[in-house]
Structure 1
Amino acid sequence: MIPKRLICTHKSEYALEPKLRFCLERMKELHPTWEWCFFSDEDCEAFVAEEMPQYAELYRWYPRPVLKADCFRLLAVMRLGGFYLDTDFLVEAPLDPLCEHEVVFPWEWTLGWDDFEMRFPPWLGLKAERRAVGNYAFGAEAGHPFLQALLDEMVVRTENFEAENCVDLDVLHATGPDLVTSVYYERREEWSTVHLLGSRTMGLGALWGTPHQWQLAAVG
């Protein structure tokens, strides 16, 4: 069971633009009994140093804020359990039905052939679906092996990371959706408790201004 805890991050709670503040208030409104955890940039660094010190050097080393953000969301859910949501994620319905699972991840988008061949090796086994697994919103029990596998792979990918030449595609590969997608599909037989949402017929939410959605297992 995923604990009823919402985890969000931003530079500062006082620096939220109106649309982000609206999204966060909507999260709270739909989850009045859930624990609310908001981390500023300073809070994130302190949390990693105190709760996950084995990753503190890696976290501080990342040269771009988005890399730190990707890393932190995994560390926070790994340590605390609950649901991480991007601050621009507009929740449409309570997430309570998803708490019955051990791990829940959304799919980011269906990749075109060119994108797939550029971003993933052909042996990965994605060609039947070509769905990238998202990390913009996800939930898990604390300490789940899938999250540990993601963190382990994150460390491996950082060993060959060229910080001075970091581009957006490098971020996707090192800490973002491409990392999650690769670990999920490469070892899919191990992840029977990972629930990958796969239906567009019943959205629980979406990133502001985008088609990304949460879906309920019951509808497909």
Structure 2
Amino acid sequence: MTAISSLSPPFRRVVALVVIVVFVGTLIYFRDLSASTLYKGLDPPNHSKAAQLSAKDLLKSPVSKNYEFVPKLIHQSWSTPELPSKFETWSRSCREQNPDWQWVLWTDEDNLNLVKQYFPWFLEYYQKLPGEIYRADLVRNMYMYLYGGMYADLDIECLRPANELFETYNITTVPYKSTYDGSHHRTSNTQQERKAFFGRMGTNDTFDHSIPNAWMASTPGHPFFLLSLDSVIEKLKGEIPGKITAEHLTGPIALRRYINLYLKKYKDSDELDQRMNKNPIVDVFGPQDSMKHSVEVLPWWNVFPYSWDRDGLAFKEICSVNSEQYDRERCKLNIATDHWGSYFITYWSHSWSRSGHNENNMKNIAD
């Protein structure tokens, strides 16, 4: 008689149950282990996400001839095609939240080719900029002007579909191809209007960094985005480039300055179009004097619910990716992104320095 058969019936049932639980648990463990090994670094099969469109293919495509729609293009930029681990995760969130969009990852080489192809008259000044962060800051304005769509820094997590955000502002999003091949037609007789969107960070409107250039969206051909090019030419002609910080020349401080200038001088006016008609790039679109344009700065909870300024200090330990206590899920819970209906959140990696990558902060996004 075996040891098990010598046990009383209740004990035999307990032993049998334990064996079954251990067996099933072992199967589940090895199933999950094999799946995680097989798909490590990849997306699970059949998971819907925005398809990648290479920058080279986009550069071969015609620019949009429809200025009232936001094309379904997600623009992101990094020095090479290989993204650090956390950037890959956050970038994937944007593709998964917007599966009917296309995703373009621009490299430094792609950015240079963009300037050579569409802005050859600006190439001299582009190359004079004292570091890649200056160029990365500047070239996103070119994405918006030429193609429209949405630009997002790689430390931004997308929380909701962008289509829903634009719907609240009566903006239609359409596949990029349909904006130049005539397959998407206007649905109303109202005058076309070019619109650009930015986000406010924090509650202090006077803070120089209160309108980050980490996120922006636009219909194509908006003249606002040419202000940055004009300003860079003017600055580089009059000052030594290395003495001007990226924030002041091409980054968020400059962006806030341009927006304030636009709202004060160019809003509800064709003066900006008339000024930009002297710019060689307008030949791509043709004169647009009769077409309205506007700039919208979205409230802080839409795009930048976590502020790295003083009003966000209470959340810095768990929301800044450079903090040892960084916890993405706790951050969103404490900030109440669901309650506010936030569409994005930025963990502010500050991965750049004037001379290149910030090596200390790069370690925090590589894990």
TM-score bracket, shorter-length normalisation: 0.7 to 0.9
- Judge which range, 86-95 or 189-198, deviates more: 189-198
Residue 145 (structure 1) aligned with residue 223 (structure 2): yes
Residue 206 (structure 1) aligned with residue 345 (structure 2): yes
Q: What is the CA-CA distance between 1:23 and the residue it aligns to? A: 1.1
Matches within 5 A, 1:100-119: 100-101=170-171, 102-111=195-204
Structure 1: where are the runs of 5+ without partners? 120-130, 211-220
**2:213, 2:252 within 8 Å by CA — same for their partners in 1?**
yes
Aligned-partner Cα distance in 2 for 1:155–1:146: 16
Aligned to 1:88: 155
Q: What is the CA-CA distance between 1:73 and the residue it aligns to? A: 0.6
Matches within 5 A, 1:1-220: 1-14=69-82, 16-99=83-166, 100-101=170-171, 102-111=195-204, 132-166=210-244, 170-189=245-264, 190-191=266-267, 193-200=294-301, 201-208=340-347
Aligned to 2:58: none
Q: Percent identity?
A: 22
Aligned-partner Cα distance in 1 for 2:267–2:147: 20
Aligned-partner Cα distance in 1 for 2:128–2:94: 32
Q: CA separation of 1:109/1:60 partners in 2, compared to 1, >3 Å: closer, same or farther?
A: farther
| Letter of the 2:89 counterpart | F
Aligned length: 191
Aligned-partner Cα distance in 2 for 1:137–1:171: 16
**1:89, 1:207 within 8 Å by CA — same for their partners in 2?**
yes
Residue by residue, what CA displacement relative to the aligned partner does 1:139-159 show, whole Å, maximum 9, x if unpaired? 111210211223322332333
Which one scores higher on RCO, CA 8 angstroms, separation ≥ 6? 1
Secondary structure in 1 aligned to 2:213?
coil
Secondary structure in 2 aligned to 1:196?
strand
Q: What is the CA-CA distance between 1:92 and the residue it aligns to? A: 0.8
Q: CA separation of 1:23/1:161 partners in 2, compared to 1, >3 Å: closer, same or farther?
A: farther
| Letter of the 1:203 counterpart | S
Instruction: Please identify the structure whose Cα radius of gyration is greater.
Output: 2
TM-score normalised according to structure 1 size:
0.78
Residue by residue, what CA displacement relative to the aligned partner does 1:150-207 show, whole Å, maximum 9, x if unpaired? 33223323333323434xxx21111111111112113314336211111423311111
Residue by residue, what CA displacement relative to the aligned partner does 1:49-85 show, whole Å, maximum 9, x if unpaired? 1122222222111111110101111112111111111
Structure 2: where are the runs of 5+ without partners? 1-68, 172-194, 269-293, 302-339, 350-367
| Letter of the 1:12 counterpart | T
Secondary structure in 2 aligned to 1:13?
coil
Q: What is the CA-CA distance between 1:110 and the residue it aligns to? A: 4.6
**1:78, 1:147 within 8 Å by CA — same for their partners in 2?**
yes
Aligned-partner Cα distance in 1 for 2:300–2:112: 36
Secondary structure in 2 aligned to 1:206?
strand
**2:138, 2:228 within 8 Å by CA — same for their partners in 1?**
no
Aligned-partner Cα distance in 2 for 1:154–1:164: 13
Aligned-partner Cα distance in 1 for 2:125–2:246: 14
